[in-house]
Amino acid sequence: MSASVAAEGSAGEKKSRPGRMLWSRAKAVLLALIVPLALLLGWHLAVKAGMTRLIPSPADVAKHMVDFAVGGIWDDAFSATLHIHLFASMTRVYGGFALAALVAVPLGLLIGRNEQVRALLDPFLQLMRPIPVTAWLPLSMILFGLGPRSAFFLVFLGAFYPILLNTVFGVRSVEKRLFEAASMLGCSGTAQFFRVVLPASLPSIFTGLRLGLGLAWFVIVVGEMTGVPQGLGAVIMDGRTLSRTELVICGMIVIGIAGFISDRIVVAIMNRLLRWSPSHHG
């Protein structure tokens, strides 16, 4: 009798588990929507109250977003061009970010493990790091000319330092007792790097990748001030020049959504690679 009751109880728990998971996800989505919906409501009320005449209402921005995406409303130069500008910006963001990761991660691993390399490069990198990306804008146009190459370079700079510093921090934070334990198990030399250093520093490396990718989307507006005809940054700059605030807001919204999706992709990869470490799930 007790065995059958226990079996029924376990079966009930198995049935209720998907329901609990579904409710947990729905609850997370609802909580995440509270702040954006509150901001939209405050924005709508502020416009209706006449607090500002230069910023359109959320409904007007939504109409312009639809026209920006699929056209059919105003049919101007920006109608149905969202995919073109988004693809252009994505090419520069992901290209500059990928190059920054390919350079910063190996360099950070080397600086973190080698005292001589750190003494050689760390002072110079710390000197260059505080220089804002906007300060590089004139030089990038001189070095690479007007166009996408300058934007690519600025995105690279924006993503490089967060990835580098977090990689160095991750390598330097590896506990010494892990090396001692690996040595006792017969793991030494380069094997320690791949079996101890790299796995232990992966959480910090992924933190740097997330920060670098977020800054890459942040910098793309500055990067596309270099005379590129297409891109979300170019749309924002055109909107500013034409005093079309709704176009500026549309570009901002698209960058925010694209940056959020990009971050979720990196988090998914991180959770996949770090499934052995539940404390680092994002």
Say yes or no to pLDDT of 2 above 80. Answer: no
**Is 91 or 74 the better-scoring residue by pLDDT?**
91
Say yes or no to pLDDT of 145 above 80. Answer: yes
Q: Which amino acid is at 62?
A: A
Q: Where are the domains of the chain?
A: 2-53, 70-280
What is the spatial distance between Cα 28 and Cα 32, in angstroms, rounded to a whole number?
6
What is the spatial distance between Cα 13 and Cα 72, in angstroms, rounded to a whole number?
52
State residue 184's pLDDT score. Answer: 63
- What are 125-141's pLDDT values in tens digits? 999 999 998 899 899 98
CB 281 within 8 A of CB 274: yes
- What are 94-118's pLDDT values in tens digits? 999 999 999 999 999 999 888 899 9
The answer to whether the Cα torsion of 199, 200, 206, 209 is positive or negative is negative
pLDDT band at 206 (very low <50, low <70, confident <90, very high): very high
Q: Specify the pTM.
A: 0.85
State residue 186's pLDDT score. Answer: 63
CATH superfamily of 70-280: MetI-like (1.10.3720.10)
